[in-house]
Amino acid sequence: MRWAVAVTAEGTALLCPLDGRGRAAGPVAAEPDVARAVAERTASGSVTRWVWRSTAQVYPRLLEAGVRVERCHDTEACEALLLGREGRWGEPRSLSAAWARLRRAPVPEDPPLRAADRQPSLFAPGPVPLPPGTDPLEALLEVYAGQLRRVEAAGHPERMRLLLAAESAGTLVAAEMNRAGVPWRADVHRELLRELLGESYPGGEPTRLAQLAEEVSRAFGPGARVRPDLPADVVRAFARDGIRLSSTRAWELRKIDHPAVAPLLRHKTLYRLHTAHGRSWLRTWVRDGRFRPEYVPGGSVTGRWTSNGGGALQIPKVVRRAVVADEGWRLVVADADQMEPRVLAAVSRDRGLMEVAGSGRDMYSVLSDRAFGGDRDRAKLALLGAVYGQTSGDGLRHLADLRRRYPAAVAYVDEAARAGEEGRLVRTWLGRTCPPAAAREEDFGDGGAGPPETDAQGPSGGGAARARGRFTRNFVVQGSGADWMLLVLASLRQSLAGTRAELVFFQHDEVIVHCPAQEAEAVVEAVRAAGERAGRAAFGETPVRFPFTTAVVECYADAK
DNA sequence: TTCTTTAGCGCC
DNA sequence: AAAGGGCGCTAAAGAA
C-alpha cells in the first residue's frame, strides 16, 4: 500500500495510507519523529511506496537515522515532468506552486535548482512554504491525486507512470550517494599533485607551472615575457611572430608549428589540474576520506543529472588515481556499452539497427562489418554524427551510408530535428519533454532579431532554427538514454538493498559500486541484470541488448 | 570595489 | 577529421 507523509513546519510528521486514486484510505496519524514514523511502517512491510513532497526535504533525515525506503513518489520531481509533458515547461514545480495552481491562487516562484544561480548564502533554500494555516498533508494529497489524474491524461500513461517512478527512484539514489560519498585518498591525490605540478606553496604558483611559463616565454625570443594563462597575452605573442590566432584553444594551437606550442599545451593541462582539482579543491570537497558532491537528479533538460560543487561529473582521468576502495573492499566500475546507439535502435525500431544492437558485441564493430567495410571509426563517426547533428565534414558523407542501410533509425532523429526547427516539442520514449524554444532562446543566438547570419544559413533556415534542430535531434536519444539509465539505477539499487554494497558514483552512462571484495562478483551480475531489466521495462520486448563493461578494481584509474 | 560574462577545458 | 549535443568550474576580462 502507498502511504503519504508530510513534514510540518515544526518538523513533526503527518501520515496516512492511500487508496488507488491517491485519497486518504485511513486515519491521519500525527507523530513527533518523521524517521521513526516511517521506519515503523516500513519495517512492517505494508508500505510499497512513500508519497512525499520531495526526497530532498524528507529523505536526508531518514538516512541520518539509518532508515531506508524502497520506493517513493517525489511530487516536485514528478510535477516538473508532468508540466513538461503538458507543454507547460518552466512553470514552478514546487508542491506549493502545484497546490496554488489547483486552487487558482498566486503561484510562488521556484528557487534555482543550481547552486551557482542562487543568492550566495550559507544555507540551501528550504522548501517553498505553503500559505500559513495550510495542512501540509492535505496539500500533498491534493497535488498527488491531481498528478495521478494527469498521468492518465498523458499520451502513454503506462510510460509516464514508469518515468515518474524512475525519476523518483533517482532522487533516492542521489540522496543516498550524497550521503555515502566517493572513497577518496587525499594523500594519494596530494602526491599526484606534487608529481605533476612540483612543490606548491600557499598563494604561490606551483614550480612546474612556473618552469613551463618560463619555457613559453623563452620560445618567443630573449626577453619576451608571456603569461600562458592569459589568452590575450598568448594571441599577441604569436602575432608578433607572424601567426594569427582566433583563439588559444588547444586544438587550434596544435595546428601550429612553433616552439611555444608544446610547453603551452602542457601548461594548459597542468594549470587546469591546479585550478580545478588542486589543493584548494581537495580542502573544500574531501572530508574524512570521502568526496561529497551534491547530485541534482534531472538537473539538465535531457534528464541527465548535474552536480553542485566539486565538479563531480568532470573528474579528470589523472585524478581518478585518488579514488581508492577501502581496505578489503572493491570498486565495481560499470560502463554501459554504446548507450546512445543502442537506445536509438530501441526507440526507432529500425530492424537492421536493432539486429546490430542485438548481439552482445561492440556495436560499432558489428556496424562496420556490415556497412562500413570494417572501419570501426567510420561507423562510430557516422552514428554519433546522426545523433549529434553533424553539419559538415566526413561524418556527413558517412551519414549518407548510414541512412541507406538504416533508414528508420536516421529518419527518427531527422524527424526530431525537423520538429525542433519547426518549433514543435519532442519527447523521450517515456515522455520526458524538451523545453520549448522560447525557454531557451538565449542559448540559440539572436532568436530572430538582428541581421541574418549569412554563412550559417542553410536550406532549413536561420542559425537559431538549426541549432534548435540539433538540440531536439540529440534530445530524443540522450534523453531516452537518461531515462533508461534511471531504470538501471533503480533496479540496481533494489538488488543491492540488504547488502553492504553501496552506489557511490553515477555519471550519465557509468556507475560505481563500493562493496566488500567478496560481494564484487554478485554486484557485477546485478549490474548486468539491471541493464537488461531496464531495457525491457523501458522499451518493451526488444531484441536490443544493453550490456555493461564492468571492472572490479581497487582504484578507479585502473578501470579503463 | 563588486558583479556578470567570457574563454577555455574537464567529463559524458 | 572537425569543432556538433549535454553539462560545471575557474580565472580573467569587462561592466557597473
> pLDDT tens-digit profile of A415-433?
999 999 998 999 999 999 9
% of chain A exceeding 70 in pLDDT = 92
Which bases of chain C are under 7 A from a protein CB atom? 1-13
CA A456 → C1' C4, Å? 14
> If you classify domain A2-118+133-179 with CATH, what class do you get?
alpha beta
Which helix (H) or strand (E) segment holds residue A52: the answer is strand A49-52
Contact (CB, 8 A) for A114 and A133: no
Nucleotide nearest to A469 (CA to C1'): C5
Q: What is the mean pLDDT of residues A502-508?
A: 94
3-state secondary structure at position A484: helix
Q: Which nucleotide is nearest to A235 (CA to C1')?
A: B7
A294-338+482-559 CATH pick, 3.30.160.250, 3.40.50.300, 3.90.550.10, 3.30.70.370: 3.30.70.370
Nearest nt by C1' to A246 Cα: B7
**Cα(A532)–Cα(A376) distance, integer angstroms:** 25
Tell me the nt nearest to A269, Cα to C1'.
Answer: B9
Question: CA at A377, C1' at B7: how many angstroms apart?
Answer: 31
- Tell me the pairing of strands A294-296 and A306-308: antiparallel
Which residues 11 to 70 of A reach strand B, CB within 7 A?
none
Q: What is the 3-state secondary structure (H, E, C) of A158-195?
A: HHHHHHHHHHHHHHHHHHHHHHHCEECCHHHHHHHHHH
Q: What is the pLDDT of residue A447?
A: 35
Q: Which of A176-180, A198-202, A295-299 has the lowest mean pLDDT?
A: A198-202
Determine the average pLDDT of the residues in A187-206: 87
- Residue A334 one-letter amino acid: A
Q: Which backbone phi and psi does A508 adopt, to 5 degrees?
A: 65, -65
CA A264 to C1' C16 (Å) is: 34
Q: How far is the CA of A38 from the C1' of B5 (A)?
A: 47
Closest CA to A315 of A507, A504, A140: A507
Residue range(s) occupied by CATH 3.30.420 in chain A: 2-118+133-179
Nearest nucleotide (CA of A272 to C1'): B9
Residue whose CA lies closest to nucleotide C2 C1': A393
pLDDT tens, position by position, A327-380: 999 999 999 999 999 999 999 999 999 999 998 889 999 998 888 888 888 888
Backbone dihedral angles phi then psi of residue A174, each to the nearest 5 degrees = -60, -45
Of the listed ranges A12-16, A73-77, A203-207, A522-526, the one predicted with least confidence: A203-207
CA A119 / C1′ B2 distance in Å? 14
Contact positions of strand B to protein Cβ (< 7 A): 7-12
Residue A122 has pLDDT above 60, yes or no: no
Give yes or no for a contact between A31 and A12, defined as CB atoms under 8 angstroms apart. Answer: yes
- d(CA A386, C1' C4) / Å: 10
- Mean pLDDT, chain A, as a whole number? 89
Give the mean model confidence (pLDDT) for residues A308-324: 89
* Pairing of the two strands A548-553 and A329-336: antiparallel
Q: Nearest nt to A252, CA vs C1'?
A: C3
SS3 A323: coil
Instruction: Read off the pLDDT of residues A240-266 as tens digits, 9 standing for 90 and up.
Output: 999 988 888 888 888 889 999 999 999
Q: How far is the CA of A282 from the C1' of C10 (A)?
A: 15
Closest residue, by C-alpha, to the C1' of C4? A390
pLDDT at A459: 41
- Span CA (A217) to C1' (B12), Å: 35
Residue–nucleotide distance: A106 CA to B2 C1' (Å):
34
Nucleotide whose C1' lies closest to the alpha carbon of residue A315: B11
User: Helix H segments across A20-74?
Assistant: 34-43, 55-64
Mean pLDDT value across residues A13-36? 96
**Which residue places its CA closest to the C1' of nucleotide B6?**
A231
pLDDT at position A97, please?
96
User: Cβ of A112 < 7 Å from strand B?
Assistant: no
What CA–CA distance (Å, rounded) separates A236 from A248? 11
pLDDT category at A439 given cuts 50, 70, 90 is: low
Region(s) of chain A under CATH 3.30.70.370: 294-338+482-559
- The confidence score (pLDDT) of residue A462 equals 58
Band of pLDDT at residue A116, cut at 50, 70 and 90: low
Residue A136 and residue A6: Cα distance in Å, rounded? 6
pLDDT given at position A450: 34
Tell me the mean pLDDT in the region A520-541. 96
Contact A125, A158 (CB under 8 A): no
Average pLDDT of A9-19?
Answer: 94
